[in-house]
Amino acid sequence: MPAIDRRQFLQRSGAVLLPAILPVAAMAGQSTKQELPADEPPVNFFGDGADFNPAQYIETLQKANAKEPIRRDFYGQGGAVAALEKKMAEITGKEKAIYMPTGTLANQLAIAELSGANTKVFVQDMSHVYRDEADAAQSVFGKRLMPLGMGQTYFTAAELKDAIDGLKSKEVFASGIGAVSIENPVRRTDGRMVPIDEISKISAYCRENKIPLHMDGARIFMTAAWSGVSVKEYASYFDTVYISLYKYFGTAGGAVLCGNSSLIDKMPHLIKIHGGTVFGNWVNAAMALHRMEGFEGRMKESIQKANIVFEGLNKIKGLKVTTLDGGTNIYAFEIGSGINAGTLQQKLNKDFGIRIPPADKNGKTTLTVNETILYREPAYIIKAFESCVS
């Protein structure tokens, strides 16, 4: 079996990322077992996108540069950063977009700015803003986060209305509602999404009551791929939208915040006073621009391939893959008691370059679909699992 050509991989890892590297025909009549060199691209059933090591990152950027010379920015102005901001504004249908060093800063600055002097901000209990931003809203921005939808993926418009109406009787000294923030999909509930109907209702309620609405859309391209609702439609219900650059576009970091010009124009100053102004950001911006090309098509193909793979895995005795209720790219995976889950994980990785997360003591884990599924043909992946459990 020919080893995967790393140069070829890197060459292809831009616009069309990796078609089948190992066609099934190549496996006919021989064992599917192979020892993969460490730097060959594995199929990762975790994470939301391709993950480039430094050499791959540099070569991917070189490819982008060969196509069109990358232009640098200065403190976030001009060059690849300006081009990325233009593209993101177009995709979201917002007036303007701005590059942010992190998603945390994008969320916090957007919420703080939307809220003005009002302190209450309604968020999902399971959201990144509520649980994973080190209480920045409270400690740095003077906001009081009000969690709703306890332990759930989302809260409903009715729940939001009840919570706001209830304040009149539950609290003595009224203070204004600053904003509402919605994360979609929700990382802490295995990438489950907020239904578009509920978003529409929440947005209508907020607009009627002049309450600004922010979307933590770190992975909104994933929601769009699985729901069939465009990023632009999602964004249309919100005043501000943050999108991560590194979750699935392969950058080393960075984010983009989109919204009205009046709000976005305040950001350079706010980023600076919070210590977030970076001299050069073009490495991330150029990578994102390059990897966004054809992304939608690659996700469509990834979903198609995943459906074939999971149908195949479900025919293997002791393996079961199921979709999550309201889920996006994360699927439940059960490994029967007759199969050693640890051995399966190790063999898939070592012999076939397929990585799955460890299972719990009941053999339960998840399989996350991202574009690395395109690195092998579905039949190869199915056969790999088959041979690792037998």
Q: Quick check: 245 and 200 in contact, CB under 8 A?
A: no
Confirm or reject binding of residue 190 to ligand PLP (CB under 6 A).
no
Q: How far is the CB of 79 from ligand PLP (least distance, A)?
A: 21
Q: Which stretch binds ligand PLP (CB under 6 A): 96-104, 156-164, 168-176, 280-288?
A: 96-104
Size of the site for ligand PLP (CB under 6 A): 11
Give the SS3 label for residue 201.
helix
Look up residue 14 and give its two tokens: 């831009």
Q: How far apart are CA 292 and CA 91, in angstroms?
A: 11
Beta-bridge mates of residue 250: none
* 3-state SS class at 167: helix
Helices (H), 230-377: 231-236, 261-264, 267-273, 282-292, 295-313, 341-352
SS3 296: helix
Residue 332 structure tokens = 């439940």
Two tokens at 219? Answer: 């992975």
Q: Which is nearer to ligand PLP, 109 or 289 (CB)?
A: 109
96, 120, 187, 192: residue in contact with ligand PLP (rule CB under 6 A): 187
Residue 137 to residue 73: CA distance in whole angstroms:
30
Of 48, 73, 113, 216, the one binding ligand PLP by CB under 6 A: 216
Q: Which is nearer to ligand PLP, 121 or 255 (CB)?
A: 255
Residue 104 binding ligand PLP, by CB under 6 A: yes
- Residue of 170, 162, 172, 127 whose CA lies nearest to 145: 127
125 binds ligand PLP (CB under 6 A): no
Consecutive H or E run containing 180: strand 177-183
In order of 117, 135, 143, 161, 269, the CA distances from 138 in angstroms are 13, 5, 5, 23, 21
CB of 102 to ligand PLP, least distance (A): 4
Dihedral over Cα of 78, 84, 87, 92: its sign: negative
Structure tokens at 41: 């691209």
Token duo for residue 131 = 């649980």
Please identify the residue of the shown chain whose CB is closest to the bound ligand PLP. 103
192 forms part of the interface with ligand PLP (CB under 6 A)? no
Contact region with ligand PLP (CB under 6 A), list: 37-45, 103-111, 197-205, 376-384: 103-111
Q: Is 257 among the residues that bind ligand PLP (CB under 6 A)? A: no
Candidate segments 29-37, 98-106, 335-343, 369-377, binder of ligand PLP by CB under 6 A: 98-106
DSSP conformation class of 13: S
Alpha-carbon distance of 353 to 384, in angstroms, equals: 9
- In the complex, the smallest distance separating the C-beta of residue 282 from ligand PLP, rounded to whole angstroms, is 18
Minimum distance from residue 304 beta carbon to ligand PLP (Å): 26
Q: Which is nearer to ligand PLP, 104 or 302 (CB)?
A: 104
Q: How far is the CB of 186 from ligand PLP (least distance, A)?
A: 7
Query: Applying CB under 6 A, does 276 fall inside the site for ligand PLP?
Result: no
Site string for ligand PLP, 127-146 (x = CB under 6 A): -x------------------
- Could you give the count of Cα atoms lying within 13 Å of 30 in the half-sphere of its Cβ? 11
288's torsion region: left (phi>0), alpha (psi -120 to 50) or beta?
Answer: alpha
Q: Which 167-186 positions form the footprint of ligand PLP (CB under 6 A)?
A: 183
When asked if residue 108 is in the footprint of ligand PLP (CB under 6 A), the reply is no
Span from 81-89, 99-107, 168-176, 318-326 in contact with ligand PLP (CB under 6 A): 99-107
319-323 β-sheet, strand order: 319-323, 330-335, 364-368
* Residue 16 beta carbon to ligand PLP: minimum distance, rounded to whole angstroms: 27
255 binds ligand PLP (CB under 6 A): yes
- Out of 103, 276, 326, 353, the only residue in the binding site for ligand PLP (CB under 6 A) is 103
Using rule CB under 6 A, residue 243 touches ligand PLP: no
> Nearer to ligand PLP by C-beta: 41 or 191?
191
State the Cα–Cα distance between residues 363 and 338, nearest whole angstrom. 10
Residues that bind ligand PLP (CB under 6 A): 102-104, 107, 128, 183, 187, 216, 218, 244, 255
